Structure 1
């Protein structure tokens, strides 16, 4: 298992290095292309490479921005259902435990795990062995849920959300039963680079 993780980490870092190199070449080509379109002189730092890059520009007309490891993050979305593991910080209060149960109903195909005495490393190892795609850890302050960490496997990213004024379902009088139908999400005007990544 350790050898496999080491190999995957090495491949990931190698792919990131290649992406960085491709990104630099792409930016140089775009600078030359812009200079040619505007009728300006090619920047001094690109003059040595300009001849070769101009030749390559002919073939790159259809090229969009180069893909990154970030684009590969959800490459299997739609093929395999995500498996989400939900847990809490150590020694959770009854409210945090209840909140974790409610979060399980919000995320399709998720499982809730009692934290017990497990350390984060053991939980992550369990997620990897069971092919979980995401890990959600819920935190609290004085019995009030106040934080949520979502980590995507195998190589991230990890994001931390701060929660304010959390109202549990159990606090609402005359509540009905929760539908276990998959949620319908609407993302409107998520057109920035970060927005596209979130979607």
Structure 2
């Protein structure tokens, strides 16, 4: 090695050999840091959503610069805080840990719920297969072709089944376990940039559901709406859509895990269209559910009736959901007794028709990932002949 030749050790220090393991570890570290930073910002937004309006302001300071020698260097962004009536609350990594625990808990509860749903669906499918074999044996008919290979095994398992245990536990026990114990908390909002008629319709829906609250949509995203509703204990989120000023869609999303039902609105008549109606009663109404005899019909009936609290016996307010040919007619009345035999009905409004076209198992922001429980297929050859909400 000559006098002017560079040292091999120096070259190795300046240009170290590639280390794939170290690079992968650094890449994973950067990804984890980015994920924690996103969780931190989401947690900040959740804290902001919990605070009352005009009482809290998020402080965001731009990165400052300072002179070091003769060169300019950027100083990192200052700490982020909340300015409220009590002063400034600073965030630390403790808040990130709290956010991580909250997300882990929500993910765990969601996994447990999906596991129970999967087990229930498997048990229901097995029970339907056994019922088909039982009916074929009782009526002395041929066993269905798809069940002939396992007919003997199904017949053997029928000996251990007894009557009276159908429908005891199902997903309704998990989704609506507090129904009848605690009053539902309903939040009503609209699509973005609503017209004046859609705002009127949202106000009238607020009068339909006792204790409901209406929220202006503004520029809020669906995910932010759902997170704010979960943080404030909202049980159901209703979103109304329109087309050229006419309400055409209603989404009912049950929180925190679902389901989410999608309805089409038609023949909408609002209270604002009828003069001299007076004030609407806000008492807890009695419900009339008519024509929901199929399994899907009972599912839709549960989604709709659990939006209302338990009424008192002396309530004079009645709300009707009447199904006919899969069109659900909504009517709102109050009644009074004229004598010991006759009752006088007065329609309060609004009135409209609902047409179900989809049910998803998740909440509203999980539209891209949630499983579809049921979907209406209008372009099949027998779509105009079939009814789904009634067994007739």
Query: Normalising to structure 1: TM-score of the pair?
Result: 0.85
> Given the alignment of the two structures, is residue 162 of structure 1 paired with residue 230 of structure 2, yes or no?
no
**Alignment equivalent of 1:116, drawn from 205, 209, 218:** 218
- DSSP-derived class of the 2:269 partner: coil
Partner of 2:350: none
Which residue of the partner structure matches residue 4 of structure 1?
Answer: 105
Q: Select 1:14's aligned residue among 111, 115, 122.
A: 115
CA deviation map 1:46-92 (0-9, x unaligned): 256357514423xx233325743145432321101000000011111
Name the CA shift for 1:102/1:49 in 2 (closer, same or farther; >3 Å): same
Q: Which has the higher helix share?
A: 1
Structure with larger RCO (C-alpha < 8 A, sep 6+): 1
Aligned partners of 2:130 and 2:155 also within 8 Å: no
Count of residues in correspondence between the two structures: 197
For 1:6 and 1:162, how far apart are their aligned partners in 2? 31
Whether contact under 8 Å (1:28, 1:46) holds in the other structure is no
Per the alignment, residue 127 of structure 1 pairs with 229
Change (3 A) 1:62 1:161: closer
Mapped to 1, the partners of 2:275 and 2:155 lie a distance apart of 73
TM-score, with length taken from structure 2: 0.46
In angstroms, what is the RMSD of aligned CA positions?
2.4
1:121-141 Cα shifts (integer Å, max 9, x gaps): 000001111111110011122
Superimposed CA distance per residue, residues 14-45 of structure 1 (whole angstroms, 9 cap, x where no aligned partner): 11221133224323432443354345787542
- Show CA shifts across 1:130-176 (max 9, x none): 11111001112222222211111122222222223433322322221
Aligned to 1:56: 160
How many angstroms apart in 1 are the aligned matches of 2:133 and 2:243?
54
Larger Rg belongs to? 2
Runs of at least 4 residues off by over 4 Å: 38-43
Asked whether the 8 Å contact 2:192–2:219 carries over to 1, the reply is yes
CA distance in 2, matches of 1:24, 1:165: 38
SS of the aligned residue for 1:45 comes to coil
Name 2:150's counterpart in structure 1.
46
The answer to whether 1:95 aligns with 2:197 is: yes
Partner of 1:29: 130
